[in-house]
Amino acid sequence: MAACSQAYALDAIPQQDGFSGFVNLGAGITNVESNTLAEISGINLGNKSIDSVFDSPKDKSAGIPVIGLEIAYTFAESRTQIFLGNQLEDYLRFDFSTRAGIRQEIGKAGIIGVSYLQTPLATEVWEDPFVENSDRNSTDRTSNGFRLIWDKMYGTGLELSYSQREIDIDDERSGEFLGLMEEEKNALDRNGDSRRFAIKYTFNVDKGKHIISPQFTFIDQDLDGESMAYDGVALNVNYIYSMGRWHFVSNASIAGLNYDEENPIYDQKADTQRYGASFTAFYGAPFGWKNWLFNTGVVWFEEDSDIKFYDSSVQLLSAGMLYRFK
């Protein structure tokens, strides 16, 4: 049952050599509102045609797979671990970034980690999201980079992390349909770099029955288009409650994003508030299956922009089976 109660900090590196990790196989139903997203993993989640660039997005529902996986190998004597896939803590907060990397325990100083971040799911966006009353063409969006992490600093619950990604849109054509000038189209360019610096502290209460982890994240979305670039601060709180074979994981988040320049289509900045919440229930050893956990969860995410074209929301209801191996 420690799979859940220890989920929101890097697990201590095992004392023996060998493989460890988890796999979760599940499915969900999602409802998405977005004027910019086209597909995820071949699943159509966007509306191919819009009536007006001044309208809020319409919703679309679809069934999707919900899969999580991490495989790690420990070299116990050197206190080193290499890994591939999602850390369990990231999976529980619905961060599906695929990664490979290494963790190194450094005595009382804690655990240092370096990992490669890759686009978690094949994602497509619209080449020019501002095409009206005609079918829009989709294009690949990738987001690859790295993460540095220092956890359990000197025996405390403090964790520092820094991540950087390069965002690449294969065919960026924002504003072409509207006949914008070159300078205005350049201001809508969605290519660039994304940087995050996070500070988290994990409080372990009543021998792991309650685990509370507040996190502050500083965001720098340094995109080529000045109207698309922004910075901001996010607050996330994760809470895990364990009761016998039941474990309940909840997240709540809020963020404020300030854009660099006015959008040339709307003559105002797209300043945005983000809100999110999720709740997942785990039940250990269903049907007497050792190391298995049945899980079901709900997710709600919303972006409220000063430009309603950029409003978006996601709701997800999912269920699955998680297997933890050591």
pLDDT tens digits along 195-215: 999 999 999 998 889 999 999
Rg (CA), the chain: 21
Contact indicator for 157, 203 with CB cutoff of 8 Å:
yes
Question: Cα–Cα distance between 230 and 223 in angstroms, integer?
Answer: 8
pLDDT at 13 (0 to 100): 86
Question: Cα–Cα distance between 254 and 176 in angstroms, integer?
Answer: 34
Residue of 318 and 6 predicted with greater confidence: 318
Question: Cα–Cα distance between 323 and 237 in angstroms, integer?
Answer: 25
Q: Give the residue carrying structure tokens 């993993």.
A: 41
Range of lowest pLDDT (89-103, 194-208, 259-273): 89-103
Range of lowest pLDDT (10-19, 164-173, 243-252): 10-19
Burial class (CB in 10 A: 0-12, 13-18, 19+), 154: exposed
- Judge whether residue 177 has pLDDT over 90: yes
Whole-structure pTM value: 0.91
Question: Cα–Cα distance between 3 and 246 in angstroms, integer?
Answer: 12
Tell me the Ramachandran region of residue 128: left when phi exceeds 0, alpha when psi lies from -120 to 50, beta otherwise. beta
Amino acid making up residue 63: G
User: 3-class SS at 153?
Assistant: helix
Q: What is the DSSP string of 124-148?
A: EEESSTT-BSSPPPEEEEEEEEEEE
Size (the chain), residues? 326
Question: Cα–Cα distance between 111 and 2 in angstroms, integer?
Answer: 19
- Judge whether residue 75 has pLDDT over 50: yes
Joined tokens for residue 104: 């190194």
